[in-house]
A and B are shown apart, each in its own frame.
Chain A
Amino acid sequence: MPFLSHGSHRIRYELDGPTDAPAYVLVNGLTQYSELWAAYRDALIAKGFRVATFDLLGQGASAKPELFISQEDQVEALRLLIEALGDGPIFLGGISFGALIALRYAILHGDRLSGLVPMSAFAELSPQLMLLGNALRTALILGGTSYLQDLLLPMNLSDSWLKPLLGKLDAVKRQGWLVNDVYALQNLMESFLEFQPLTPQLASIKTPTMILNGEFDFLTPRSLHETLRIHISDSSLVIIPNAYHAFTLEKATLTADLLARFAEDVMAKRWQGKQAVWIAPDDAGGEMMPFPAGFDHLRAIPVPRTTS
């Protein structure tokens, strides 16, 4: 198991795929661990990519600082990992908290990236997100990791994903419960206590950016992704149909395909962000569909877009 060093902290990472291939670096969500990207490793390597995954500070097998974990340290850990990948093209994807870290990296080191994929992302804490975050932190404090997982599973995954697993949810939760410690998750959550919105800095991201948002994601709803679309000039927003916040778990085949197609388009110079809004296909390999012209993509019912 290889580790990077950041000061006295060790960061567990994994590299797979050909060393001379363009690389995808994938950043975990807050309660995740790097093994959850296994399906992406297989799919992206099969399409000719190298894949780098790692546990953030406070997660899994990486160091778990006892009292404080800053988001700046997470970005530095990510920088070290990307530095270790050499000079080839780098595509950076992150989910939720990992998307925030990826955005921070892109703001600071955007020149190093060929492409950026924030998924279930946010650059600021809306009142809803802040209050949900506070409530989830309280859940962790009062009920431990298991109770936090009990809340996150139905919030972030669809009925169709959950239904066949209802009888074995303990098994679904177990690895995440085993590798993540309450105080460390709490430190990750508390890294938001002095959070300042990234929105004013988003315009500095010139990297081609594909923003992915689940159709039914209410933890980080469309409006939070819209902030990214509006401020990142070479971006597109892609809505994943029938998906919730954790669509990277639920729709791994589709999402990995979207990641590969995005990178291939960028490298072939076909990518044109144009701040467009798209609807992803239901299945991998399907056609992307432009969001119907004239309708408001921020609404859940077909309301004509108002010009402002």
Chain B
Amino acid sequence: MNQFLGPLDPSGRVPPLQQTRVASFLVSVHGALARQLAFALPGQFKAGWQTELNTQLHRETEIVSLLLRATSWAPDVTTFYNTLIWEMAWMPNPVSGVADHRLATTIDIAALGHAAHGAVRPAALLPVEASADDPFVVALRRIEFESSRLIQAQIHFLKGDDLKPVRDAVSAAVNDRHRQVRKLWTDVLTSIGIDRHADDE
């Protein structure tokens, strides 16, 4: 097991199968967030914070679009099965303990967003030798950088005073989504020979 993607080819590019597995996962989770945001977005904004939803929707769409173009795709027999597992995992799961169904669903979307933007760090997979000119390498760096800004909306919402009365339920939901995303992400990485803690053993 290695800690980083590779071995790189002589021009510093990540092997296509690794690109495919990583990009497939990211397309799935960011695509799911884009769909959920599109569904949650009202036709007419009534509050200033709703503008952030619009930004989030388009940033998530941008990530999917970027990966589709920047990845060197390779045939992968696991794609169908993996995608099925991932898409089922991202299905909305309204938070228990919150009576307002719409709010419970919104918390879940935010929890999934927090996990996708916080627990998944694709740029941290890149070895220092990765080519700065390779579109896939640049895409991973851009996605991680963008994620640290996108997560701010989830942090603001999930830690906000409005949710104080249901803070335990919110924390549990975020914790569950993090566990779920980490597990699936770790499975992807393991399938391509990566163990993020390989050096710590």
Q: How far is the CB of B6 from chain A (nearest CB, A)?
A: 15
**In the complex, per-residue mask of B45-76: 1 if CB is within 8 Å of any chain A CB, else 0:** 00000000000000000000000000000000
Q: Does B151 contact A (CB under 8 A)?
A: yes
Which residues on A sit within 8 Å (CB–CB) of B200?
A: 1, 61
Q: How far is the CB of B42 from chain A (nearest CB, A)?
A: 26
Cβ-defined contact, B197 with A61, below 8 A: yes
Cβ-defined contact, A141 with B149, below 8 A: yes
Given B115, B148, B159, B171, which contacts A144 in the complex, CB threshold below 8 Å? Answer: B148
Q: Does B118 contact A (CB under 8 A)?
A: yes
- Bound Cα distance A182, B146 (Å): 11
- Bound Cα distance A17, B119 (Å): 35
Q: Which of A184-231 contact B (CB under 8 A)?
A: 184, 186, 190
- Bound Cα distance A178, B119 (Å): 12
Beyond A66-B174, A68-B159, A182-B151, list 19 extra A-B contacts (CB 8 Å).
Answer: A61-B197, A66-B114, A66-B115, A66-B175, A66-B178, A67-B155, A67-B159, A141-B148, A141-B152, A144-B144, A144-B145, A144-B148, A170-B128, A178-B124, A181-B119, A182-B118, A183-B117, A183-B155, A186-B155
Q: Does A142 contact B (CB under 8 A)?
A: yes
Whether A181 contacts B118 in the complex (CB less than 8 A), given A141-B148, A144-B145, A144-B148, comes out as yes
Across the interface, name the chain A residue whose C-beta is closest to B197: A61
Cβ-defined contact, A68 with B201, below 8 A: no
Of the candidates A144, A145, A177, A183, the one having the most CB atoms from chain B within 10 angstroms of its own CB is: A183
Q: Which of A79-103 contact B (CB under 8 A)?
A: none
Q: Does B170 contact A (CB under 8 A)?
A: yes
Q: Which of A139-154 contact B (CB under 8 A)?
A: 140-142, 144-145
Given A67, A141, A177, A184, which contacts B158 in the complex, CB threshold below 8 Å? Answer: A67
Which residues on A sit within 8 Å (CB–CB) of B128?
A: 170-171, 174
**In the complex, per-residue mask of B105-132: 1 if CB is within 8 Å of any chain A CB, else 0:** 0000000001101110100100010000
- Bound Cα distance A183, B114 (Å): 9
Q: Which of A24-83 contact B (CB under 8 A)?
A: 61, 66-68
Which residues on B sit within 8 Å (CB–CB) of A171?
A: 128
Whether A68 contacts B149 in the complex (CB less than 8 A), given A1-B201, A181-B118, A183-B118, comes out as no
A-B pairs, top 4 by smallest CB distance, nearest first, are: A182-B148, A183-B118, A144-B148, A66-B174
Q: How many residues of B contact A (CB 8 A)?
A: 25
Whether A181 contacts B121 in the complex (CB less than 8 A), given A66-B171, A144-B145, comes out as yes
Q: How far is the CB of B195 from chain A (nearest CB, A)?
A: 13
Whether A67 contacts B171 in the complex (CB less than 8 A), given A1-B200, A174-B128, A183-B151, comes out as yes
Across the interface, name the chain B residue whose C-beta is closest to A60: B200
Which residues on A sit within 8 Å (CB–CB) of B118?
A: 66, 181-184
Which residues on B sit within 8 Å (CB–CB) of A68?
A: 159, 171
Which residues on B sit within 8 Å (CB–CB) of A174?
A: 128
Which residues on A sit within 8 Å (CB–CB) of B152?
A: 141
Which residues on B sit within 8 Å (CB–CB) of A141?
A: 148-149, 152
Q: How far is the CB of A29 from chain B (nearest CB, A)?
A: 20
- Bound Cα distance A140, B145 (Å): 11
- Bound Cα distance A171, B129 (Å): 12
Across the interface, name the chain B residue whose C-beta is closest to A66: B174
Across the interface, name the chain A residue whose C-beta is closest to B145: A144
Across the interface, name the chain A residue whose C-beta is closest to B117: A183
Q: How far is the CB of B197 from chain A (nearest CB, A)?
A: 7
Of the candidates A61, A66, A67, A190, the one having the most CB atoms from chain B within 10 angstroms of its own CB is: A66
Cβ-defined contact, A142 with B149, below 8 A: yes
Which residues on A sit within 8 Å (CB–CB) of B155?
A: 67, 183, 186
- Bound Cα distance A130, B148 (Å): 23
Which residues on A sit within 8 Å (CB–CB) of B119?
A: 181
Across the interface, name the chain A residue whose C-beta is closest to B111: A66
Which residues on B sit within 8 Å (CB–CB) of A61?
A: 197, 200
- Bound Cα distance A26, B144 (Å): 32
Which residues on B sit within 8 Å (CB–CB) of A170?
A: 128
- Bound Cα distance A167, B115 (Å): 35
Q: Which of B162-195 contact A (CB under 8 A)?
A: 170-171, 174-175, 178
- Bound Cα distance A144, B143 (Å): 12
Q: How far is the CB of A10 from chain B (nearest CB, A)?
A: 12
Q: How far is the CB of A180 from chain B (nearest CB, A)?
A: 10
Q: Which of A234-252 contact B (CB under 8 A)?
A: none
- Bound Cα distance A68, B172 (Å): 12
Which residues on A sit within 8 Å (CB–CB) of B159?
A: 67-68, 190
Q: How far is the CB of A6 from chain B (nearest CB, A)?
A: 15
Across the interface, name the chain B residue whose C-beta is closest to A61: B200
Which residues on A sit within 8 Å (CB–CB) of B175?
A: 66
Which residues on A sit within 8 Å (CB–CB) of B201?
A: 1
